[in-house]
Structure 1
Amino acid sequence: MSATSAASLSFNLHAWSAWASDLTTPEAWQHWAHTGERQAQQQEPAVAAMPAMLRRRAQKLGRMALETLYAQPAPADFPLVVASRYGEILRSTALLQELAETGAVSPQSFSMSVHNAIGGLYTIATQQQTPVSALAAGTQTTLGGLIEAAMQLADGAPGVRLLLCDEPLPDLYERYGETATPAFAYLLTLTPGAQLRLHHQPGNGQDAAPLDLLRFLLTDAPTLSLGQTGWCISRALAL
C-alpha cells in the first residue's frame, strides 16, 4: 500500500461499539483502553435481536461482530466495511479439513465461510440494502479498512460503518501468526468532518493491530502510527 506525502482523509467518529468475551460493556472497554486490564468473567454474545434461524448460522466471531452491529443501528445508506485479517478462520479450517477427509463440504457452511458473510447475514436479517465491502490486508488490515471507509466518505457517503474483527488462529496455523489476540469485534461509525485525520508522513512505523486503533480512539493519544508505509491517524488538535 503506497501513498504520496500529500494524501489526507478526514472524518469524525460518530459512535462506536465493541465486544469480546471478557469485555462486554463500554465501561469495560474504556477501562481496558487506559489500563490494559481485562475481566475474569467470560460471556457469550447473545445477539438476541437477530432471528434465531439466522443467528445460529454464525459462529462465535460472527456473533461478536453481529452484537456490535445491532448495538449501533444506522441508516441503510451508510455502507458497511468489514476488515478482518482471517475472518472466521476456525470455520474455514474445519471446512478445509472436512474437504480433505471426505471430498465434500456443507453448502451452508461454505456460504458462511466467505469473507463478506457476516455483513451479508446482517443485511439479510435487517432487510437493509446496505452496500457491504469486505477486505483482508495481512498486517495492514487495520489501515486498509480505515482507508476504504474514509475514501467512501470522501466519495460522498453520508456515513460509513467500519467493522473490525478477528479471532486467534487454530493450532494448525498458530506458528504462522505474529501475536495471539483474544477474539474481538468492534464497530466504528464514521461521518464527514475533521475530528480525525488519516495522513501520510515520512518514516516507517509498525503496522497497527486493530486493537491499537480502538485504544487510540478511546484515549487522548494525539497520534497513532498505522503502518510501515508511513500512514498515521491524528486528532485535529495534534496536527
Structure 2
Amino acid sequence: MKKRPPLPKHLNRHRYHTLLIRLQIELVKLQRSVIERGQRILIIVEGRDAAGKDSTIKSIVEHLSPRDTRVVALGPPSNRERCSWYFQRHVSHLPAAGEIVLFNRSWYNRAGVERVMSVCTKEETEEFLETVPAFEAMIERAGITLLKYYLDISNQEQKRRLAERQRDPLKQWKMSPIDAKAQKYWKAYSEARDKMLERTHTVTSPWTVVRAGDKEHARLNIMRDLISFAIYCGG
C-alpha cells in the first residue's frame, strides 16, 4: 500500500493566527457577495468523532454575520420525526437567499453512527444510500450550492483526543455515550465511511476528505477551499 505523504509542519501560534485572520477576512467578503447575489450555500461537515468538526465550524463562522449564518446540529429525532420521511426534519433548515448554513453532522448520520450503532436497519441504510444522491441533486437544482467535507483522523489520534476530553473539565460536555464507543467500533466506522463516500460522491455533489490530524491545518485548508470555490464560481 502506498504511504500517505507526511502532514505539513505544525504552525506556531503566531503564524496560525495570522493565516486564520486573513482567511476569515476573505470569508467575510464571500458572505457579502452571497448576500448581494442572493445565493444559498449549504456546507456539510462530517467526520470521525473528535476529528475537529466543532472547532472548524467555529473558525469559519466566528466573524460572519449571525443574521445570515446558521449552524445546524440536530439532536436525536423525536418519535414523530422517526415516523416521517427521513430527510423531512433537515429540509426546514436549508438556506434561504443570502444565507450560509453549516450542518454539524447531517442526514449522513444514517450512513454512519445510526448504522454502526444499529439505530436503523441495513435496509434503511441501503435506501438512504440509493436516494441521497437524488435528494442532493434536487437541492442543487433548486439553486442551493452544496459543499461536503469529511474530516478524517487516525485511530491513535482519535484515542488521544478522546482521552484529552475526559481529562479537561471544559471539554467534557463533548463526550457522549456514542463517543465513548468510537474506539471500540473503529473498524465498523471505517467500513461505513468507505461505503458512504463511494456511494454518495457524485460529479455534482462531491466529497472533500480532509486529513485532520493537525487541526490548525485542517481548518485553514477547509477555509481556503471555500474561498477558492467562491472565486471559481465568480463570487
TM bucket normalised to smaller: 0.3 to 0.5
Taking structure 2 as the reference length, the TM-score comes to 0.34
Instruction: Return the structure number with greater strand share.
Output: 1
Higher helix share: 2
